[in-house]
Amino acid sequence: MESGCAVCFQGCASNTNGRGNQALVVCMDPLYRLFDKNGVISLFQSKLGSTNRFEARFLFDLLNIYYDNDKPDEAIASYLNSVPRNRLHKALAYLKKNRLAETISGRNTVITADLLKNSMSSVEYAPFPRELQRIIEYYRDVSPHELLYLVDWVRDAGIPENLALEYINRLLSLDSQMSLDELTHCMTEMNHNPKDDTEEIYKTAFVVMRALAIDNNPGKREQNYIRKWKSLGFSEEDILLACDNALDSPTFHYVDAIIINARSAMDKTGIKPYKELIRFTREYKEITGASGVKDLNVSSFIRFAELRTEYSDEEIRLAADFVINNYHSKILKNNRLIYIQRVLKGWRDRGLHDISSIRSYLDDLEHANALMGSITVVAELDVPDHQRKAYIGSIIKWLKAGCEDEDIIDAATAAAIAEAKNPLAYMHKIMNIVMKYG
């Protein structure tokens, strides 16, 4: 979609500052494309009054050229090149004084649509935007910028306006909150497949209804859903796969939500076709332990796909099990993959690059945690939560050095009896002696 109608032109070479030609830019606010020419001109006539002076005629010349030419940029540029530099500056200054134009950056001037925005009740849209607004507002509110997006998209796509209106009405009748991206995607597919497919659509709708345990014959509503889903690139086989995931709520509305979410996930992750997305989702859930709706989202899929490029599925599975067993479920609700990634990075930082070394580390960690329980119970040593990680690290170090569980518990008991200010440091002194002399 165009963001504006930039029209460049060269000023007179005979400017007095001696710097030669200087490029100026005039932009028409894109919203002008929505409005009827006659209404716009009438509005500006009421604002400016007499059109005898050149400064006023200049604006009306721009508007007439803008609305009457298929390529308004080139036509306006040609007109501006014919205007003497001094008169051009006077005209632009006059429009700015009347708040009909403003400088946006450097020598760039925009003919604003502020007057139009403030007078929408009295100035009509052009026929196509007006009918488009009527159809959309039957289902939901629509902003001028959303209308402009659709008007420009239809023009650029080369879809006949009457056909575009029919497409949009049909699609919004199925989902009134369909996004602009979804609308344009569906319209592209519908325009590429304009054949009469009534019989094929009816048959698919019939099969889908039976898959959802609905005994009625397909009506117009069900057939329109099938058209929408096929326009999103879903085959009958894909739709039936979506139905398999809708057994908790076997309705066309629920299947529609599944397909829309799947289409978004496929577009954003690049995981296609739909069967591949289903396989990926199944593997994601099986490997990470994800189950809640909040875990099954596009950002999580993308992060999971990125993890698989760096770590094996078994590494991710071990990290997921570790996270599930060591973190509160509330913390994991929206951040499961973040914590899994942190654990995996931590293992790599420790030099754990293969499954056997990770399993060995996890066994040591489990052993150390069990010893921590003994230390707090048998040795009656109070270990603050913020120091627990340091204790675990030290215990693993001692175990790897060949120390026995009893040696570590005895060291903790000694630290407790001595009421050491720093029990862990006290234990280190004892364990150093044990490791040195046995």
Cα angle: 152, vertex 127, 164; to 5 degrees: 50
The arrangement of strands across the sheet holding 5-10 comes to 5-10, 23-28, 108-111, 101-105
CA–CA distance from 430 to each of 175, 391, 424, 427, 435 (Å)? 72, 14, 10, 5, 9
Residue 273: cis peptide before it, omega within 30 degrees of 0: yes
Cα(356)–Cα(315) distance, integer angstroms: 10
User: Tens of pLDDT along 213-269?
Assistant: 998 888 888 988 998 999 888 999 999 999 998 888 899 999 999 999 899 888 888
- For position 331, what pLDDT does the model report? 63
| CA distance linking residue 253 with residue 385, whole number of Å | 50
Q: Measured between alpha carbons, how far is 209 from 243 in angstroms, rounded to an integer?
A: 9
Look up residue 341 and give its two tokens.
Answer: 């990634």
Q: How far apart are CA 345 and CA 341, in angstroms?
A: 6
The pLDDT value recorded for residue 195 is 58
Helix residue ranges per DSSP H, 10-105: 37-48, 54-68, 72-81, 85-97
Phi, psi of 122 (to 5 degrees): -110, -10
Work out the percent of the chain whose per-residue pLDDT is above 70. Answer: 88
Which conformational region is residue 351 in: left (phi greater than 0), alpha (psi within -120 to 50 degrees), or beta? Answer: left
Q: Which pTM was predicted?
A: 0.52
Q: Which pLDDT score is estimated for 235?
A: 92
Report, as ranges of residue numbers, the positions in the chain whose pLDDT lies below 50.
1-21
* Torsion over CA: 338, 392, 424, 384 (sign): positive
Residue 10 pLDDT: 33
Tell me the C-alpha to C-alpha distance, in Å, between residue 47 and each of 58, 340, 382.
Answer: 14, 64, 83
- Which pLDDT does position 267 carry in this prediction? 87
The whole-angstrom separation of Cα 346 and Cα 315 is 12
- pLDDT tens across 162-191, in order? 889 988 988 888 778 888 888 888 888 777
Conformation bin of residue 419: beta by default, left when phi > 0, alpha when psi is -120 to 50? left
Q: Would you say 101 and 25 are in contact if contact means Cβ atoms under 8 Å apart?
A: no
Note the pLDDT of residue 98.
83
